Amino acid sequence: MAYKFKLPELGEGMAEGEIASWLVKEGDTVKEDDSLVEIQNDKSVEELPSPVAGTVKQIVAQEGDTVEIGDTLIVIDDGSPDTGDDDQPAKDDKEAEKSDSDKTTESASKEEATAGPATGSADAHYLAMPSVRQYARDKGVDLAKVTPSGKHGQITKADVDSFDGSAAPQAATQSAAPAAPASTNTITPYKSATPELETREKMSMTRKAIAKAMLNSKHTAPHVTSFDDVEVSALMANRKKYKAIAADKGIHLTFLPYIVKALVAVMKEYPELNASIDDSTEEIVYKHYYNVGIATNTEHGLYVPNVKNVDSKGMFEIAKEITENSQAAYDNKLSMDKMSGGSITISNVGSIGGGWFTPVINYPEVAILGVGKIAKEPYVDEDGNIQVGNMLKLSLSYDHRLIDGALAQNALNLLKKLLHDPDMLLMEG
């Protein structure tokens, strides 16, 4: 008895569109070619005309919904005889296939749409990319109230950000609840052909936080990693010499305090390494303190406590604090203070045999030093003789927005100089 109008392919490669606004409501009489709905895809907004004449029986997809090609948008009673429409069961099957979470999303977005005129009134006509619409929904901002600044009256993400929420407080509170499930809409689920050979477990809070931090760093800072190595026989001798003395004081002296000290000298020479970028003001923030973080791997996740003001601390003191911080991380007793306000981070995989790698910057810092193992390798010394060298592998990742490749290499060169000759460290550190 009814014609189901399904979303046609409106552009090459188009897989889905968003219902920008309905131009008809249930009960309306429509003629053939009357405009029914505005669909937004990534390329443009298109008005879809009705292929049949009749009465609008049901609006299936609501404003703001993302619909796929072939999804029924609207049911129009066009008086055609019931031909045992094979769409009905097909649609039910599809409904049944949807997971519980999908249903929550669906009902949530329906609630949102029917919540009242505050969200998406029927005559709302505005231009915005689907990603911006999604962003606005997540933030609970009604796009109809946002002043566009983009080309041809497009609402940009920045417009949503700068939207004065006080102008429409209801909108914000009303859609706050459904916003969370709605945001899962665009995430592609992991599908497996052999789920029986896999197990699933919920991500822990820490794992989620790590994932988020890594993603944010990689998305924000264009990473470049420079690899190098340095001959550290003298450094090894020095450590060997003082290791016992440290032990007498109950201090475990590793190579890390040396590297921390060397980094202080490097940061003093190259203050760009001890900086952050404030994207909101497009300013470079130079730090006049030296807090060096040590990435610490524990059973319950990765932490980066930093040793504060290392420039005013002695080698033993630094060694002691590194050990304390690491213990606090294992015991899950790190304070937030210990993990914020860092200058630069050291990630050490050498202790477990790692070599070169590409560490991810501990954003908003702008550099991270990856420390690898010390390997015995042929090495040509200053006099041109081949020796068995103790080669320490270094990987310096840096935010290329702020730090140029030459600067990074110069910084690495200084670091190498200091680690090659620990007496220099005494002078510069």
Partner 1 sequence: MANKPIVDFEALKNNLSNVSKPIQVLNEKAEITDQEVFDSFSDDDLVEFMKKMVWERALHEQTMNFSRQGRMGFYAPTEGEEASEMGTVLAMKKNDYLLPAYRDVPQLIQHGATVTQAYLWSRGHVAGNKFEARSMMPQIIIGAAYDEAAGVAMGLKKNGEDAIAFTYTGDGGTSQGDSYEGMNFAGAFKVPALFIVQNNGFAISTPRAKQTSAPTLAQKAVAAGIPSIQVDGMDILACYAVAKAAREYITAGNGPVMIETLTYRFGAHSSAGDDPKRYRTKAEEQPWFDKDPLIRLRKVLEDKGLWSEEQEDKLVDEYKASFKEAIKEADAVPEDKVSDMLKRTFEIPTPEMKKEIAKFEAKESK
Q: Which of residues 71 and 428 has its CB atom nearest to partner 1 in the complex?
A: 71
- One character per residue 163-202, x = contact with partner 1 (rule: CB under 8 A): ----------------------------------------
Catalytic residue among 223, 252, 400, 420: 400
Our measurement of the distance from residue 59's CA atom to the centroid of its chain's CA atoms, rounded to an integer in Å, reads 37
Q: Is 254 helix (H, G, I), strand (E, B) or coil?
A: coil
Q: Which of residues 5 and 258 has its CB atom nearest to partner 1 in the complex?
A: 5
The three-state (H, E, C) secondary structure of 352-370, written as one string: HCCCCCCCCCCCCCCEEEE
Total residues contacting partner 1 by CB under 8 A comes to: 22
- One character per residue 138-157, x = contact with partner 1 (rule: CB under 8 A): -------------xx-----
Least Cβ distance, residue 78 to partner 1 (angstroms): 13
Least Cβ distance, residue 129 to partner 1 (angstroms): 12
Using CB under 8 A, which of the segments 49-57, 100-108, 196-204, 392-400 binds partner 1? Answer: 49-57
Helix intervals (H) in 270-307: none
Least Cβ distance, residue 8 to partner 1 (angstroms): 2
Interacting residues with partner 1 between 85 and 104 (CB under 8 A) = none
Least Cβ distance, residue 135 to partner 1 (angstroms): 21
Helix H or strand E encompassing 173: helix 169-174
Least Cβ distance, residue 50 to partner 1 (angstroms): 8
Using CB under 8 A, which of the segments 41-49, 99-107, 115-123, 178-186 binds partner 1? Answer: 41-49
Nearest CA among 267, 266, 318 for reference residue 294: 318
Least Cβ distance, residue 46 to partner 1 (angstroms): 6
Nearest CA among 80, 81, 86, 74 for reference residue 35: 74
First-to-last alpha carbon distance for the chain, in angstroms, is 85
Least Cβ distance, residue 5 to partner 1 (angstroms): 8
Rule CB under 8 A: choose which of 15, 51, 212, 278 binds partner 1: 51
335 in Cβ contact with 324 (< 8 Å)? no
Q: Which of residues 43 and 125 has its CB atom nearest to partner 1 in the complex?
A: 43
252 labelled catalytic? no
Q: Which of residues 46 and 102 has its CB atom nearest to partner 1 in the complex?
A: 46
How many CA within 13 A on the CB side of residue 118? 18
Question: In the numeric block, which tokens belong to residue 125?
Answer: 């006509």
Interacting residues with partner 1 between 317 and 346 (CB under 8 A) = none
- What's the CA gap between 253 and 265, in Å, rounded? 20
How many CA within 13 A on the CB side of residue 134? 16
299 in Cβ contact with 332 (< 8 Å)? no
- What's the CA gap between 231 and 406, in Å, rounded? 22
Rule CB under 8 A: choose which of 26, 32, 279, 381 binds partner 1: 32
Question: In the numeric block, which tokens belong to residue 379?
Answer: 């090495």
20 in Cβ contact with 40 (< 8 Å)? yes
Kindly give, in sequence order, each residue whose CB lies less than 8 Å from that of residue 282, ignoring residues fewer than 6 positions away.
Answer: none
Q: Per CB under 8 A, does 41 bind partner 1?
A: yes
Interacting residues with partner 1 between 232 and 271 (CB under 8 A) = none
Interacting residues with partner 1 between 1 and 20 (CB under 8 A) = 5-12, 14
Q: Which of residues 42 and 111 has its CB atom nearest to partner 1 in the complex?
A: 42
Rule CB under 8 A: choose which of 21, 50, 72, 174 binds partner 1: 50
Nearest CA among 329, 322, 327 for reference residue 300: 329
Least Cβ distance, residue 274 to partner 1 (angstroms): 43
- Longest CA–CA span in the chain (Å) reads 98
- What's the CA gap between 62 and 51, in Å, rounded? 20
Q: Which of residues 44 and 58 has its CB atom nearest to partner 1 in the complex?
A: 44
Q: Which of residues 47 and 68 has its CB atom nearest to partner 1 in the complex?
A: 47
Q: Which of residues 43 and 241 has its CB atom nearest to partner 1 in the complex?
A: 43
DSSP string computed for 122-133:
TT---EE-HHHH
Query: Is the omega angle on the peptide bond into residue 364 within 30 degrees of 0, that is, cis?
Result: yes
Type of residue found at 85: D
Q: Which of residues 152 and 333 has its CB atom nearest to partner 1 in the complex?
A: 152
Compute the chain's Rg from CA coordinates: 30
Least Cβ distance, residue 344 to partner 1 (angstroms): 43
- What's the CA gap between 384 and 376, in Å, rounded? 18
Active site residues: 400
Residues that bind partner 1 (CB under 8 A): 5-12, 14, 32-33, 41, 43-44, 46-51, 151-152
